[in-house]
Structure 1
């Protein structure tokens, strides 16, 4: 497909992701194309302004629909507005006053998603999942008219995506197929990071196990048919959790990730890797800081990607990221795991195949190609095809697991 939404690779990708959300009512094609066109090659400030203006306009329209009793129009409008605010946030670290802007726009984003969740039929349940003396916030969303124990998909978000994206990418197709979907913010994600300062951790089983405990204690969840599905960096977190948490009936990693640090070193290159490997912390930090100071665009990407780790020293940050590696525990995974392998994967190329090869248990590698229009990280424009292949596989696996015996 010969098209681009501007010269900025990240903005081009985000526009594709927004356009793909049309499939699950998370965007409107005309709105996305107009905003992307207005923002094309205008820099971060223009990107932020275009998408926030669109989000606020759609939010206002959704409010009028709600006031008039038009539930479906309001529901879909609030979801679109939430997604557009999420798209705007991608540029916040390259704008002036990023902290204040993030605080303002993130609040608007979550308020819109809350209104969407309330307008769902039945209204989504706001949940608090006990976690190490605090709680993880989430939404349990169900198909209409179903009160019996149902298969439930735990939607594991990635490193920086909005919860509206987790819904359109994984939650909505799960609910459409008769499952409940649990969306939640884990350490380093959204509310846990922005409101509570809780950062990422590599031992994600310590996150997933409390989530599974919470779900399996509920009478409306079929404990024998709980699914763990993750997008983007959750392609590491899902297999890491599966190595220790064995109550999951089936799982999805979109895509597979063996070592999170690989995406960082692709950005930094071999010379900086050699300097890092030398162990000269002071020199490495100095070179990185100087390099970021001379390249504002790269500095913005660094700040956005580093934020969830909460580690100021580049050397210490990359040392920590290096611990996010599933190699040593992949042999413990026995849960059936489907791994996507999109052509042109730009962050972890080749990792899906390597993860697949390392798994000893039931596994499936599903490729998505440019010829199908489903290439790139998380198949942004191939959502219908993704759902068909991935959820058909899940349906088969859940049927094998059988319903809960009460």
Structure 2
């Protein structure tokens, strides 16, 4: 009997659960700029129980600790480049674990701070000038990173600055891996900032809640960037990722001091955007149907599985609402009116994937049609492997499209 030939035991298998499979694809996409490896992602996935958040957290957190220890050992032996690469992988492993960890669990902040620690150490090992910035709003400390691109010759001040804000579950560190690193490669300084309710804010502010008037933190960000020696508003670009597409659009509608805006994707009505995925409007739930965070442990698995319970609890708590119905009613305040869009006169790039669904594509089209300045739409396709939300499966191509547009627009 002939023996089968096997060149390895790792297999290309994902998850039956679509959300967990998307999160795996998100992790795989991070390989482009050093945040993961294909082999490790698939090996970890094989040890995770489908649609079980606790299993995901346990496996990814353990991998993060293992990779951080490996990075520490390489740094101690003087291998700065190898240590940098391993710290970046550890950083993103901790981020993946943080995603599924309940924000009610102290481990959530522990994992997030571990991701931050590894990121800062990686930047130090790699010789990049990464400064920790802080903004304040309503007594909250909001973290940010300012990464200076390597300067040529005698140049000292910033050239172009790309300010990036992520969304509901993205982090400063992940934003670097998706767009910050390719922007820095092209000579742009990069500011990664966060606002209330975001993952980075939760690491330092328990009970931090999202708020629709994101222009307040945006104004502080623009003020600080423009205070840099030699900086001009025409060289400042703003990019929003996921929910950040709403945050960045809201900022731009109230902040004329921008040279360009990239929305990935443009969200002008967060309630409509979210209900397009649920297929119903939880804002219309009856009293008998409504539930709060304390009710979730009592909902049986055949009605709501562990993953949906965890995600439901997180959105209620991070929106600062007492029930699921109240949460979706609150989302109606997250809107950018047509009169606000008309005030956005800087050049705009609207990115969306053809696989995201009708509502995101409709909102992107509405954004392009109603902003006051020139707007360029770009739709990513399944053939490119970039049709999903924020092109997480192909961030390199997404970065090429957005960074090239930015260079052609700002000069």
**TM-score normalised per structure 1:** 0.88
User: Given the alignment, which residue of 334, 340, 347 partners 2:351?
Assistant: 340
User: Are the counterparts in 1 of residues 195 and 214 from structure 2 also a CA contact under 8 Å?
Assistant: no
Aligned to 1:70: 79
Q: 4+ residue stretches of structure 1 with deviation over 4 A?
A: 130-135, 286-292
Task: Give the Å deviation of 1:370.
Answer: 0.3
Displacement after TM superposition at 1:130 (Å):
4.8
Equivalent position SS for 1:270: coil
- 1:31 matched residue in structure 2: 40
The aligned counterpart of 1:258 is 268
8 Å Cα contact 2:20-2:50 kept in structure 1: no
Partner of 2:94: 85
Q: What SS class does the counterpart of residue 78 from structure 1 fall into? A: helix
Give the equivalent residue in structure 2 for 1:50: 59
Q: Which of these residues, 131, 147, 150, is aligned with residue 144 of structure 1?
A: 150
Residues 20-50 of structure 1: CA deviation (Å, up to 9, x unaligned):
1111111112111211222252622221122
Higher mean C-alpha displacement, 84-93 vs 141-150: 141-150
SS of residue paired to 2:268: coil
Q: 1:352 corresponds to which residue? A: 364
Match of 1:180 in 2: 189
CA RMSD of aligned residues (A): 2.4
Map 1:93-132 → 2, pairs under 5 A: 93=102, 99-131=105-137
211-220 vs 346-355, which deviates more? 346-355
In the TM superposition, what whole-angstrom CA distance separates every residue of 1:237-265 from its partner, at most 9, and x where no partner exists?
Answer: 11111111011101111111121112432
Q: May I ask how many residue pairs the two structures share in their alignment?
A: 389
Spell out, residue by residue over 1:187-215, the C-alpha distance to the aligned partner (whole angstroms, 9 max, x if none): 11234223213321111111111001001
Is the CA contact 2:176–2:192 (under 8 Å) kept in the aligned structure 1?
A: yes
Number of the residue aligned with 1:16? 25
Q: CA distance change for structure 1 residues 336 and 41 in 2, over 3 Å: closer, same or farther?
A: same
* 1:385 correspondence with 2:397: yes
Structure 2 Cα separation of the partners of residues 283 and 271 of structure 1: 15
Contact 1:140/1:183 (<8 A) preserved? yes
Partner of 1:402: none
Report the secondary structure of 2:143's partner residue.
Answer: strand
Determine if contact 2:282/2:328 at 8 Å carries over to the other structure.
no
Q: How far, CA to CA, are the matches of 2:296 and 2:34 in structure 1?
A: 44
If the length of structure 2 is used for normalisation, what is the TM-score?
A: 0.87
CA contact 1:284–1:314 (8 Å) conserved in 2:
no
Question: Is 1:216 the counterpart of 2:216 in the alignment?
Answer: no
Mean Cα deviation higher: 164-173 or 221-230: 221-230
Supply the distance in 1 between the matched residues of 2:315 and 2:409 (Cα, whole angstroms).
35
How far apart are the structure 2 equivalents of 1:382 and 1:122?
A: 25
Q: Distance in 2 between matches of 1:181 and 1:65?
A: 28
- 1:129–1:214 CA contact under 8 A, matched in 2: no
Distance 1:292 1:305, change over 3 A: farther
Within 1, Cα distance between the matches of 2:290 and 2:187?
Answer: 51
In structure 2, how many angstroms separate the alpha carbons of the residues matched to 1:156 and 1:271? Answer: 27
CA distance in 1, matches of 2:276, 2:114: 34
Structure 2 stretches of 5 or more lacking a match? 1-11
Gap change, CA 1:103 and 1:130, over 3 Å in 2: closer
CA gap 1:190/1:221 in 2 versus in 1, 3 angstroms: farther
Aligned to 2:299: 293
Shift of 1:304: 2.5
Q: Secondary structure at the match of 1:127?
A: strand
Q: Does residue 1:164 correspond to 2:170, yes or no?
A: no
Contact 1:143/1:180 (<8 A) preserved: yes
Partner of 1:198: 208
Q: Distance in 2 between matches of 1:244 and 1:149?
A: 24
SS at match of 1:160: coil
CA contact (8 A) 1:292 1:299 kept: no
Pick from 378, 387, 392: which aligns with 1:375?
Answer: 387
Contact between 2:113 and 2:203, CA under 8 Å: does it hold in 1? no
Secondary structure of the residue aligned to 2:47 is helix
Shift of 1:283: 4.5
Flag structure 1 segments of 5+ consecutive residues without an equivalent. Answer: 400-406
